[in-house]
Amino acid sequence: MPNPSTHTDFSSVDFNGTIHEDVMNAIWDISDFPLPLMDMVGSGSADNHYHEWVEDALADPSVAWVADGADSDQDNTSLGVRLGNHTGIQTREVKVSQAAQDADSIGSIGSLGYQVMQRQKELRRNFEAAFLGIQGNVADSGDGVTPGNPAGLAAQLTQYDTGSGATGGGFSGGTWTAITPGSGVALTLTMIQDALEAAYNDGAQPSALMSVPAIIKNLSQYMFTSDSRIATLTRETQGVGKGGAAAAMSSVNVLISDFGMTIDFVPNRLQQTYTDTDGTPAPAAAVFLLDPSYLSIDWLTGFTVDPLAKTGLADKRLMHANGTICALNRDAGRVLLDIDPAQAVTT
């Protein structure tokens, strides 16, 4: 056996070394993101795999006058539009051996409780990402073959025409049509302003602009460009000349519209990009203008943990939920499709 010196690495001795390793008894995880959509939207319950609601709107103003003594021969009754969305199931499963549970694992990572907690978080992340998708809705076949899924928010909200050539979206006969992407386009401030104006004219009051982080960053950066002249980089200094700390203000996260709306910029790390179809496929993303009071996330089955049959020296748990997202009024928000995160925002 070699004579150890001050430079000997004891951990290099065969089979994990001969010394006790200095490992912190904690697990460090930076992927436990907030869920911006689910956190801002109210939730409720669904009573069936196909969940329905009714959308209504007042008629446009009439400037036609009525003559005194004229007969009434009109019917202004409106019964609204009946909409619906399918629910969808997401699952996560854990299988932890008896030995793993009995062992003194770092941060209890081998425990059944820790694994269940982490997988439940993943389950919620799955729903967050799926609810913001461009997919249409699909009915579950009921035979374990074809899974049902809810239409994503991009297929439900009224679209602002970005000029990308995207098609699809909209509701007919119980079905939301999936979005077929067009060519990726750069986001412009004019797109946002025009979409807000259209929403305002319909009576809507969006309060959040949500998209992938790269687009939110591009939008914030645009506010400081010489072309926009919207915002000015600022610095606040405490104790000038005395070595005080300085804070640089280099981001914009709120936009006040021409129509009295205060729009928060909300980056969502879980929102998915998709492939545009301009011949050289590249990532594209939707930009949502949302009024959370006209959205609902409803659950046929809430987040549930079920024990599975034990067939050996391991415990198994199935985590599942069955839910849907509902745009309670399609005109209450807007969606801008096929925005290219790699392109800078312009006027």
Residue 139: inside a domain, yes or no?
yes
Residue 245: inside a domain, yes or no?
yes
Residue 67: inside a domain, yes or no?
no
Residue 96: inside a domain, yes or no?
yes
For residue 106, the model assigns a pLDDT of 54
Say which residue the tokens 């002249």 belong to. Answer: 229
According to DSSP, the β-strands at 42-45 and 295-307 are parallel
Per-residue tokens: 58: 């007042």
Residue 233: inside a domain, yes or no?
yes
For residue 248, the model assigns a pLDDT of 67
Say which residue the tokens 């994503």 belong to. Answer: 152
Domain extent, residue 222, equals 34-53+82-339
Q: Average pLDDT over the chain, rounded to whole?
A: 87
Instruction: Kindly give, in sequence order, each residue whose CB lies less than 8 Å from that of residue 3, ignoring residues fewer than 6 positions away.
Output: none
Using CA atoms, how far apart are residues 205 and 202, in angstroms rounded to an integer? Answer: 9
Mean pLDDT in residue range 85-101: 90
Mean pLDDT in residue range 213-235: 81
pTM of the model: 0.85
For residue 10, the model assigns a pLDDT of 43
Mean pLDDT in residue range 232-240: 63
Say which residue the tokens 């959205």 belong to. Answer: 295
Does pLDDT of 285 surpass 70? yes
Does pLDDT of 181 surpass 50? yes
Residue 186: inside a domain, yes or no?
yes
Binned at pLDDT 50, 70 and 90, residue 111 comes out as confident
Residue 28: inside a domain, yes or no?
no
For residue 26, the model assigns a pLDDT of 52
Least confident piece of the model among 48-57, 94-103, 177-186: 94-103
Residue 127 CB neighbours (<10 A): 23
For residue range 136-154, what is the model confidence (pLDDT) as tens digits?
999 999 999 999 999 999 9
Binned at pLDDT 50, 70 and 90, residue 190 comes out as very high
Run of H or E including 215: helix 213-222
Least confident piece of the model among 112-121, 173-182, 237-246, 306-315: 237-246
Instruction: Please list the residues that pair with 237 across neighbouring strands.
Output: 246
For residue 339, the model assigns a pLDDT of 97
For residue 330, the model assigns a pLDDT of 97
CATH classification of the domain holding 140: 3.90.1690
Does pLDDT of 282 surpass 80? yes
For residue 73, the model assigns a pLDDT of 82
Mean pLDDT in residue range 177-196: 97
For residue 229, the model assigns a pLDDT of 64
Least confident piece of the model among 22-31, 78-87, 149-158: 22-31
Using CA atoms, how far apart are residues 144 and 167, in angstroms rounded to an integer? Answer: 31
For residue 50, the model assigns a pLDDT of 97
For residue range 23-36, what is the model confidence (pLDDT) as tens digits?
454 545 556 778 99
Of 206, 202, 210, 211, which Cα lies nearest the Cα of 331? 202
For residue 57, the model assigns a pLDDT of 86
Does pLDDT of 291 surpass 80? yes
For residue 211, the model assigns a pLDDT of 98
For residue range 42-70, what is the model confidence (pLDDT) as tens digits?
889 999 999 999 999 888 888 989 899 89
Does pLDDT of 107 surpass 60? no
For residue 186, the model assigns a pLDDT of 97
Using CA atoms, how far apart are residues 157 and 271, in angstroms rounded to an integer? Answer: 16
Residue 244: inside a domain, yes or no?
yes
229 or 1, which is more confident?
229
How many residues are given for the chain? Answer: 347
- The tally of domains found in the chain comes to 1
Return the DSSP state at 167.
Answer: B
